[in-house]
């Protein structure tokens, strides 16, 4: 299964699972509007994430915490209008899935807006919620490591899992959430060695951001790809500088991920 250029058919969970089994990298981009979503499809991006990062990248907030369900639904609808073939992941924002029934209600809204999967931040406390959503036909992407909705608890945007105890907890959480029915797992800002270990010990595909090059996929925010972030994070790369135009920048990101050339050493936490 080789992907070159524009997607020729719709991407499903089975598509991504098959790519993991074949050792083929897939590409995810976080974006928020119909034109960019359409471009992602043309460039062969297998999965697009409508992230609550839009609070910082689009709406001007200092964190993701102020983002509302209504804002998420608005942007999921826009992305779904622009992209018909990539798998669309929609974030549930801060405190909209604190209890299983609340998660069910809000996941339903995101799915009805056009998402193919919902994404939740958190560890083993989400086991019951993920099991319930999965049993009722709602695909789930879990998210471990640096979970931006917990930035106040972490004391800032800090790498997670550098100590052995915390690393062991993250790895165990990954197994618990996978066994509960999660279909994908985002690993954000964790040491490369930890991400590689988790990718090996769970059956579902992993998507890395600041998690080394051994995950099954990579994700970057479109603003970082295009150099729009005033103080870019260590794990990001401005692809527009070398590419010269927006479509070429996105194509270069896709190509570099598939070939295993991104992330480079300077983007990785050890």
Alpha helices in 144-270 (DSSP H): 151-154, 164-180, 192-201, 222-225, 240-243, 246-258
The CB density around residue 116, as the number of other CB atoms within 10 Å, is: 20
Catalytic residues: 188
3-state SS string over 96-135?
Answer: CCCCHHHHHHHHHHHHHHCCCEEEEECCHHHHHHHHHHHH
The number of C-alpha atoms within 13 Å of 185 and in the hemisphere containing its C-beta is: 35
Task: Give the span between the Cα atoms of 207 and 220, in whole angstroms.
Answer: 10
Check: CB of residue 253 under 8 Å from CB of residue 225.
Answer: yes
R_g of the chain, CA atoms, integer Å: 17
């Amino acid at each position: 299964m080789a992907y070159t250029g524009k997607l020729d058919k719709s991407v499903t969970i089975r598509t991504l699972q098959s790519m993991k089994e074949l050792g083929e990298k897939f590409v995810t981009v976080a974006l928020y509007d119909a034109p960019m979503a359409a471009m992602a499809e043309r460039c062969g991006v297998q999965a697009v994430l409508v992230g609550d990062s839009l609070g910082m990248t689009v709406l001007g907030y200092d964190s993701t915490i102020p983002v509302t369900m209504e804002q998420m639904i608005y942007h999921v609808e826009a992305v779904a209008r622009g992209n018909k073939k990539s798998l669309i992941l929609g974030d549930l924002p801060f405190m909209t899935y604190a209890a299983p029934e609340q998660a069910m209600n809000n996941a339903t809204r995101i799915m009805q807006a056009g998402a193919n999967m919902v994404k939740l931040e958190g560890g083993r406390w989400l086991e019951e919620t993920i099991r319930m959503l999965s049993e009722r036909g709602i695909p789930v992407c879990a998210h471990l490591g640096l979970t931006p909705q917990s930035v106040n608890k972490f004391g800032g945007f800090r790498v997670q899992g550098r100590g052995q105890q915390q690393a062991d907890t993250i790895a165990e959480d990954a197994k618990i959430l996978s066994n509960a029915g999660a279909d994908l797992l985002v690993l954000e800002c964790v040491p490369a060695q930890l991400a590689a270990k988790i990718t090996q010990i769970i059956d579902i595909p992993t998507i890395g951001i600041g998690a080394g090059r051994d995950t099954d996929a990579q994700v970057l925010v479109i603003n970082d790809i295009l150099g729009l972030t005033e103080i870019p994070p260590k794990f990001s790369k401005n692809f527009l500088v070398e590419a010269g135009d927006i479509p070429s920048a996105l194509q270069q990101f896709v190509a570099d991920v598939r070939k295993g050339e991104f992330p480079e050493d300077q983007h990785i936490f050890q």
